Structure formats: C-alpha cells, structure tokens
Structure 1
Amino acid sequence: MAIPSEKELLNAACHLGHPTSKWHPHMAPYIYGNRKDIHIFDLEQTKDHLEKVCAALKKLQSEGKQILFVSTKQQSIPLIEDLGDTLNQPTVTKKWLPGLLTNWNTIKERLRYYLDLQDSFRSGTVEKYTKKEQTSLRKKLTKLDAALSGLSGMKRVPDAVFVVDAVRDSVAIAEAKKLKIPLYGICDSNANPDDFTAFIPANDDAISSLTLILGTIKEELSS
C-alpha cells in the first residue's frame, strides 16, 4: 500500500478534527480551517507527516527495534492487534498498566507470572491443584490476560511507542516522555503535538481514518 493521496485521506475522513472549542492551540499550523465549528486538517501536511512517521517506524522495524503500539480506544483495538501480530510487536489495547514503562522491572515479574500461569493451563499442570484453586487461578489468568496479552513478547522497555489517541492514553505518553522514549502517533486537533517525536495530524476517531492510517503503517513496515 502506497502512502494515500490527499483524496484518499479526504474520503476516509482523515481531515475532520474536533469542535473548535476543544482544540489545542499548538495544532494551529496543521489546520486548514473550520467547517460548522469543526476543525479541518490540512491534508497535504497529513500526507507528508504520515510518510515521515512510516519512514521512521520502518527504520526502527528493520533494525529489530521494539515498538509498543498503544490504543485503548474500542474502534481501533482490532486494527492495533492486527498490526502487532503482523509486525511481531507488542501492543496495549485493553488497559494501560500504571508503571508499564516507568516501573518495568515490577511489570516484568507480573508478565512472567502471567506466562507461567498460561503455560500451566495449556500443559495441564494446573490439574495438580484442587477445583477451587483452579477456579481461582482461572480468574487470575482472565484478569491478567486483559492487561498483558499483547505484551507476551516484550522483553524490555520498548525503543519507541506509538499512540493512537494522545488524550485518551495520556498516561502512556507521560511515561514514555519521562524515560525519553521516542513517541509517534496520530495527533487530533485536541492533542498536544509537542509530546511527539513525529506525528500524523489527523482524525483519531473515525474508523475509516484509523483503518487507512494504521493499514498504511502496517503495509509500509511489513514490506
């Protein structure tokens, strides 16, 4: 998949920002204007920034670097999970565990416990416990699965983080910034672009926009 044209970005509703009353002033350079009090992105810049982000992420991918893809936004979850599976990269889609980056050593131990517990059910060794204990362990596994299933291959703090919604997943951004981890992502008109190493000024809500942008990233990085 080539970088989408401005027309393709328009057709996917990538140009639609948030209401003008909810904007972040630092997004002003990337906004073409407004229509019915909705900010409209300059799609020439959206296209250019998408190309730059893809190039940066592709370089990291080709060097064997670890990129953590983050989005707890419901409509993007299947897209992020598919992206992670295709690129063999870690993902967070259900909930962000506080300290995932800044307290990685503790999270790493919880991840190890989760993988061991998962293996005990898969191999059948869990059957050495009583039925009551197995039920309790199953509940623990279900809870851990929601938080850690996308991180099973993550062995260290990632080399970069990609965030779909900078406002919704602001804790992920704060932790990455604290550790000076390069940040990439989609930056809607209500987000602060200064948080990012490189970003795509675009609609982060519409499924059509997310499908086109994340699909482009997947194809560019896997080609």
Structure 2
Amino acid sequence: MAKVEVKELLEAGVHFGHLTRKWNPNMAPYIYMERNGIHVINLYKTVAKLEESKEALKKIAASGRKILFVATKKQAKDIVAEKVANVNMPYITERWPGGMLTNFVTIRKAVKKMASIDRMKKDGTFNTLSKKERLQVDRLRAKLEKNLGSIADMTRLPGALFVVDTMREHIAVKEAQKLNIPIFAMVDTNSDPRDVDYLIPANDDASKSINIIMSEVTDAIAEGLADRKSEKQADKEGNDEPKKAKKESKKVESAPKSETDDNNDSSDDLTKVEGIGPKAAEALVKAGIASYSDLAKADPENVKEILTEASSRMAHLDPTSWPKQAQMAADGKWDELKEWQDSVKGGVEE
C-alpha cells in the first residue's frame, strides 16, 4: 500500500482550512498555522492519520464487511459515487434517509419494494395496470432508485461509516455512534474530531482535496478485497499454508508492539463480533482478551471497564452480547452468527 506524499496533498489543496473565526478548538492539534485569516492544516499529521485510516479500512474490507460512504454535498457526491462504485461499496450521495441505520429494517423494506417492482415488469404484471398506475409505479421506482439504489446490495448494517463533512452529515454520525459503528471521516477545521473514531484532517470543500483522499481510501479497500479474494482462492484449492502464513503476518502487523514482542499466543479477528470496532479490538487484545474463546469467557462488565479505561469514546459500547457472539465464532458456527447479527441492531438485542 503506497504512502501518499505531503507534496501531493499540498498540490491538491488539502491543507486549506476554514476561516479562523469558524474554527473548532478541538482541531487545534491538527492546525499548522494561520494565514490571511484562514487556518492551515498540518499535512504531516494528515498523512499519518490517513495511513492509519487506510490500514483499518483495508482490514474491514478484508473481513467481508461493507463500508458505507456518505457525501451529500455538491462538490463530493459525484467523486464519491465514482470512486466507491469501483470497489462495490454502498454509498449515499442524495439526502440522508433518517433512520437509515437505526431503523434499517424499514429501509430494507423500501429496497425490497424496488425489487418487487422490477419483478412486476419482468413477469408482465406491470402491463396489466392502468396507464395512471404504471406512471405512479414508475415514479416510485425512480425515487427509490435515486435515494436507495446505491445501497440495494447492503443486506446488513455496515462494518464502518465513511463521511465527508461531519457537520453536514451529523445525523448519519449520530446514528452510527448509537449503533457502535466505527466512523471514518474527512474532518475540516470547523468540525469536532471527537465525533469520529478515525479522522483525516483535510479540506472537505475542494473537489481536488476530496478526490485525492477518496482515491487513497478506495485503493486501500481494493487491496483488502483482493486479500480476501486470494484467501478464498487458497481455501478453494485446499492450500491452507499460504492462508495461515498470511493470517499470522496480519496478526503481527495489527498487534501492538508490546504484544508482538512479548506474547506469542494466537489471536482472532475480534472485529467480526458485531459492535467491536478496530480500536475496541485493540483495547481488548492489550487487556489479554485476544481470542474468541477469551471473549466468550469474559464478563461483560469487566469488558466495559477495559474499554472505558482505554478511551472515554468507547464508554457507550454495550458488550452484553459479545460473549454469546464470540462463543458462536469459537465453535465455528459462522452461518448461525451471521443470521443472529442480521436479526439485531448493532449487536444489541432488544
């Protein structure tokens, strides 16, 4: 995965922030200086945060989870739609449908309605309707396609949310927070970085800036998908050695240095448990909960304490169902686990 150069970001205008009077003080660590009443973003920190985000997104894509992109502002919508469609990920570039995540079951019904209209046209039922009814159905189909067509293949809650401009997409951010879905975002100097798990300090208004960041992000996702495809191919051919070596390599790369150097115990990908993001998984591994078996035996209250001590941003996570999910994963009951995850919201049982 090639590392982006500061010079490239500079040429794309990624460093231009907002007017100093519109700034959010929490962005101070990512601001280099002020010039002519405008804040200048520290591009060295942008590169570091971008690489961190790319690594996490690559891992999520490799796990088979979908990443939902949200960008409804005029400058970003066409760029996001083009880039994200290339990696077959869902995206929202029109109005954010309220309850898109928190009321996902209803949204899925609307998508199924779109599919039922298509079936009507194929089996001839559509032609039996009156001219007025056909016109109404066509209008409904066009409206659904415009707002939800890009998420038609998203059959379950996404593994992560990527947002361009958190202030504009604040409803999407709030919904993701409520469901413990990791949030990645391009954050300008007027936004609050505390709202997201992985921020990329960058100009979120200029088309060139959005284009270069989206290119880097989607390239990382494409690599993750390629890794997943090669692993599946290795399984199909019955060759487990390359997969095992690759899995061990990933463990070494993703584990904290202290864990890599001092602890040779095997670990599992805890992010496959609904509700656990990359940062939560890292905190659990540091606390000695590195496998599905460890998590299955863990007390949810102790898990919550570990997460809260690691970061106040994870204090809202609800680990009640994690041991149950981990036990299914440890037993290799992946179909049963997926069915359970699809039936609940964000891994939290009602």
Which TM-score band (shorter chain)? over 0.9
Cα shift at 1:123: 6.0
- Inter-partner Cα distance in structure 1 for 2:218 and 2:58: 10
Q: Against the structure 1 CA distance between its residues 119 and 48, is the aligned structure 2 distance closer, same or farther, given a 3 Å change threshold? A: farther
- Find the counterpart in structure 2 of residue 34 from structure 1: 34
Q: Against the structure 1 CA distance between its residues 190 and 122, is the aligned structure 2 distance closer, same or farther, given a 3 Å change threshold? A: farther
Cα shift at 1:72: 0.4
Task: Compare the two structures and name the one with the higher strand fraction.
Answer: 1
1:86-117 deviation per Cα after TM superposition (whole angstroms, max 9, x unaligned): 22111101110000001111111111112222
- Inter-partner Cα distance in structure 2 for 1:216 and 1:3: 9
Cα shift at 1:134: 0.4
**Paired residues for 1:88-127 under 5 Å:** 88-121=88-121, 125-127=125-127
Q: Percent identity?
A: 39
Is the 1:3–1:50 Cα contact (8 Å) retained in structure 2? no
- Find the counterpart in structure 1 of residue 185 from structure 2: 185
- Find the counterpart in structure 2 of residue 57 from structure 1: 57
2:86 aligns to what SS in structure 1?
A: helix
Q: Against the structure 1 CA distance between its residues 122 and 57, is the aligned structure 2 distance closer, same or farther, given a 3 Å change threshold? A: farther
- Find the counterpart in structure 1 of residue 306 from structure 2: none
Cα shift at 1:17: 0.6
- Inter-partner Cα distance in structure 1 for 2:154 and 2:108: 9
Tell me if 1:214 matches 2:219. Answer: no
1:170-203 deviation per Cα after TM superposition (whole angstroms, max 9, x unaligned): 1100100111111001011111111111110000
Is the 1:95–1:146 Cα contact (8 Å) retained in structure 2? no
1:47-67 deviation per Cα after TM superposition (whole angstroms, max 9, x unaligned): 111111111001000110111
Q: CA RMSD in A?
A: 1.4
- Find the counterpart in structure 1 of residue 316 from structure 2: none
Tell me if 1:154 matches 2:126. Answer: no
Tell me if 1:196 matches 2:193. Answer: no
- Find the counterpart in structure 2 of residue 141 from structure 1: 141
For normalisation by structure 2, the TM-score amounts to 0.62
1:133-167 deviation per Cα after TM superposition (whole angstroms, max 9, x unaligned): 00011111121122101111110111110001111
- Find the counterpart in structure 2 of residue 71 from structure 1: 71
- Inter-partner Cα distance in structure 1 for 2:77 and 2:184: 17
Partner letter of residue 215 of structure 1? Answer: S
Q: Against the structure 1 CA distance between its residues 118 and 164, is the aligned structure 2 distance closer, same or farther, given a 3 Å change threshold? A: farther
Larger Rg: 2
Task: Compare the two structures and name the one with the higher helix fraction.
Answer: 2
Runs of 4 or more consecutive aligned structure 1 residues displaced over 2 Å after TM superposition: 118-125
- Inter-partner Cα distance in structure 2 for 1:139 and 1:12: 40
The answer to which structure, 1 or 2, has the higher relative contact order (CA under 8 A, 6+ apart) is 1
**Paired residues for 1:79-94 under 5 Å:** 79-94=79-94
- Find the counterpart in structure 1 of residue 347 from structure 2: none
- Inter-partner Cα distance in structure 1 for 2:179 and 2:111: 20
- Inter-partner Cα distance in structure 1 for 2:115 and 2:53: 33
- Inter-partner Cα distance in structure 2 for 1:82 and 1:131: 35
Partner letter of residue 60 of structure 1? Answer: I
- Find the counterpart in structure 2 of residue 8 from structure 1: 8
Partner letter of residue 101 of structure 1? Answer: L
Is the 1:20–1:38 Cα contact (8 Å) retained in structure 2? yes
2:186 aligns to what SS in structure 1?
A: strand
- Find the counterpart in structure 1 of residue 278 from structure 2: none
Q: Against the structure 1 CA distance between its residues 51 and 20, is the aligned structure 2 distance closer, same or farther, given a 3 Å change threshold? A: same
